[in-house]
Each structure stands twice: as C-alpha cells, then as structure tokens.
Amino acid sequence: MIPTSQELISFIRDRFRTQDAIPLHAPLFGQSDRDYVLDCLDSTFVSSVGAYVPRFEEEFARLTGAARAVAVMNGTAALHLAMMLADVRPSDLVITQSLSFIATCNAISYCGAQPYFADVDRDTMGLSPRAVDELLNEFAVRTDEGAIEKSSGRRIRACVPMHAFGHPVNLDELAAVCEKWGITLIEDAAEAVGSLYHDKHVGSHGLIGVYSFNGNKIITTGGGGMLTFKDQAVGARAKHLATTAKVPHTWDFVHDEVGYNYRMPNLNAALGCAQLERLGPYLKAKRALAADYKAFFENKDVIFCAEPEGTRSNYWLCTVLCPDEAARTSFLQETNAKGVMTRPVWTPMHRLPIYSGAPRGSLPITEFLADRLLNLPSSALIGTDAGTN
C-alpha cells in the first residue's frame, strides 16, 4: 500500500503543527546566537581574527575526537584543502560516489584531477567498500607508489565517501580497502555533524574529515566549513594554506607558497559556537522526528531510510525510497503544490554533462536510488531557544 500524497501532507502538517509553508530544513536561532554575534560585533573583530574562531575549532575538535580542527569559509573550500593535503595532483583519479552533491566532484576538479565513480550501498546510500574493491581489482594494480589505473597509468590518489543525509558509510571495511590499495581516505561528512559510526564520530576514520555549516545543515554558521585531523602537523599545514600561506610576523607580509583566503570570519564562528552548544537537543529532536516518519511508513510500500546497523545518524534529511520514479514524481508534485517542500536526491554526477566522461564502474544501486529517493521536511521540532527545552 502506498500512502496518498494527502495522507503524507496531513501527517507532516500535524507533526509540524502549522498550515503555513513547510521548508525542507530551516535553521533554529535562540538568545545565545544573538548574544554571541552581538559580542563579536562589539569586539570589532568580525573578520578572520578574533576569539571565536579558535574557540569554535577547539570545541569542534573535542566533539569529534580530532587532534585538531580548522574552520574555513564553506564546506567546498574544506574539500578543496583536503584534496591538496592528500597530495591530489593534476591527472590523478579520486574514487568517490556519483550519488552526491556536486561539491565533492568540484573540489577534485579544482586540483586538476578527475572523479572515478564507484557504486553505493543501498542501506547507507554511501560509497560501497565491495564496489570500490571490485573496481580496483578489475581496473587497477597495486604498486609501491599506490594504486595505478592499468589502462591509463594514472594514480588513484584518494577515496572520498560521502555520508548521505547523515547516515554513516561502512567505514571499517572502506578503510581496510583503502589501506590494502594504498589510497588516502577522506571523509565527506558535510551532512553528518553529530553522526556516529560504532560510537565514534564520523570524519575521524580517514586522514581528514570535512564538514559543512551551510544554512540548511543541522547546525549553521550561515556559511562555513571545518576540517578535522588525526595528525596535528597536517592540521597546521591546513591552517597555513587557508590563511594565504602567510608566515606569522608582527608586521611583515611574507607568504612562502601559493595559499588560499579560505578563513572563516569571526562573526560566523560566533554563531557556530552558540549553535554547537545546542547540538544535543537538535539531534534529539531530529531523531524523534525520524522515529515518527518511520512509524508512519511502516508496512507501506514506501520505505523509510533508517540508520544502518552499528551507527547513530543525525537524520539531517529524513529520506524515503519510493516504489518507482512515477510514485516519487507524484509525491513531489502534490506536496510542493500544497506548500510542503519535498525534494528528490541530487542528479547523479555521471548524468551531468560536466562529469559524464569520468571513468566509472557499474552503478546499478546508484541508478536505482537516484530514481526513487525522496527527502522530507526535516527541521528540528523544538523551541526557538533549544537550550531551554
């Protein structure tokens, strides 16, 4: 049995307790957000220098268990830095998933490299360790310098899984495949702040973890991103590159390599500090909403995408699998016409003209999910000041 669009709309409106337009994911702001931002304004340190940037980095490192965290202007900048720190060079290949937001592939392209698409797992919607290993066994050879694609001689430099909608990928198996082939693991955890894999925060299993604080994420700095590191030295180099590679000095301007002005402004970090303090209540509210969606779709022919076994998802966007593309299109048309925002998954990267020529393995699960996944309204349902709830 497939629920009607009106049944779904009624359920969502009852849950959100409004007849107004319901967005896909709205940010929440409270008194502490205003207090911290005003304090930053009063300090006059609104750009990249100020107390809130290091505070935000230190608090985020504690949250994720990282040795160091580096805040930057957005998640795409964080991905670009991660590729450079992994020594991704022109003509290299980087294994990633086609079922992803475009920022991951764009960051690979910034380095002159090319994405190499492998399939995803149906339960995680993220990069499949089995598919990656099969791809490498068929098309690559392991050398002392790492994995080399046999037909072109190009080095396969890194592997970048994306934790789709907050659901962690199978990190243990994927890390084992990367180690076997001599490939650097970078986690795109842009959507997964607060998500755990075997009780360990995602983003902490590879060389680098990457996060986003865009306005539609579980916590926001307006625009912003973060990199996390196991190795303090790698983190220090990331900070150097992100601050125009300027050598510290009281007054001289000396830059020792090509750097990037990717710094997060103190004003954004002030908002981030306030938001991070309320991550716990946000996660609790979002998981409660996910439980309600799961109950609504139980015993129906629309499948709620629950967190994979052994993980704890932040349920950034609650997602369902429709029986076919026609059913999804019907939901999209009718819900959006009635002011309830729903969205399909991103167009797979290999279907976009700019990445259609990228090498890839077989992508049957990617194709299956791309035509059926539907994102539902997923804002945290708590008061405007979550810290008081």
* 220 and 210, same domain (yes or no): yes
Residue owning tokens 């490299």: 113
Over residues 8-16, the mean pLDDT reads 97
* 182 and 64, same domain (yes or no): yes
The residues, any chain, with a CB within 8 Å of residue 164's CB and separated by 6 or more, are: 99, 100, 120, 124, 125, 126, 191
In angstroms, the Cα distances linking 370 to 126, 195, 199, 232 are 12, 23, 29, 39
CA-CA distance, 206 to 318, in Å (whole number)? Answer: 26
| Boundary-marking domain end, from 277, 305, 322 | 277
* 108 and 187, same domain (yes or no): yes
The confidence score (pLDDT) of residue 382 equals 74
The confidence score (pLDDT) of residue 233 equals 96
* 67 and 162, same domain (yes or no): yes
* 273 and 283, same domain (yes or no): no
In angstroms, the Cα distances linking 163 to 235, 372, 374 are 22, 18, 16
Q: Any idea what the CATH number is for the domain that residue 292 is in? A: 3.90.1150.10
What is the phi/psi pair of residue 172, to 5°? -60, -50
* 156 and 182, same domain (yes or no): yes
Q: What are the tens digits of pLDDT across the range 299-316?
A: 999 999 999 999 999 999
pLDDT value at 289 more than 90? yes
Domain of residue 290, residue span: 5-28+279-388
* 40 and 154, same domain (yes or no): yes
The confidence score (pLDDT) of residue 294 equals 98
Q: Any idea what the CATH number is for the domain that residue 220 is in? A: 3.40.640.10
| Boundary-marking domain end, from 277, 304, 328 | 277
The residues, any chain, with a CB within 8 Å of residue 15's CB and separated by 6 or more, are: 289, 292, 381
Over residues 148-165, the mean pLDDT reads 97
One-letter amino acid of 269: A
Longest alpha-carbon distance in the chain: 70
* 13 and 48, same domain (yes or no): no
**Exposure string (b/e) for 355-368, b if CB count within 10 Å is 16 or more?**
beebbbbebebbbe
Average pLDDT, the chain: 96
389 — pLDDT class (breaks 50, 70, 90): very low
* 166 and 227, same domain (yes or no): yes
Least confident of 23-27, 109-113, 138-142, 379-383: 379-383
195 — pLDDT class (breaks 50, 70, 90): very high
CA-CA distance, 320 to 338, in Å (whole number)? Answer: 19
How many domains does the structure of the chain reveal? Answer: 2
Q: What are the tens digits of pLDDT across the range 250-285?
A: 899 999 999 999 999 999 999 999 999 999 999 999
The residues, any chain, with a CB within 8 Å of residue 49's CB and separated by 6 or more, are: 266
The confidence score (pLDDT) of residue 286 equals 97
Q: What are the tens digits of pLDDT across the range 44-84?
A: 999 989 999 999 999 999 999 999 999 999 999 999 999 99
pLDDT value at 384 more than 50? no
388 — pLDDT class (breaks 50, 70, 90): very low
Q: Are 345 and 388 in contact (CB under 8 A)?
A: no
| Boundary-marking domain end, from 212, 247, 277 | 277
Q: Are 263 and 50 in contact (CB under 8 A)?
A: no
Over residues 200-208, the mean pLDDT reads 96
* 151 and 46, same domain (yes or no): yes
Q: What percent of the chain has pLDDT over 70?
A: 98
The confidence score (pLDDT) of residue 383 equals 54
* 76 and 186, same domain (yes or no): yes
In angstroms, the Cα distances linking 107 to 65, 89, 164, 294 are 25, 12, 17, 35
* 253 and 303, same domain (yes or no): no
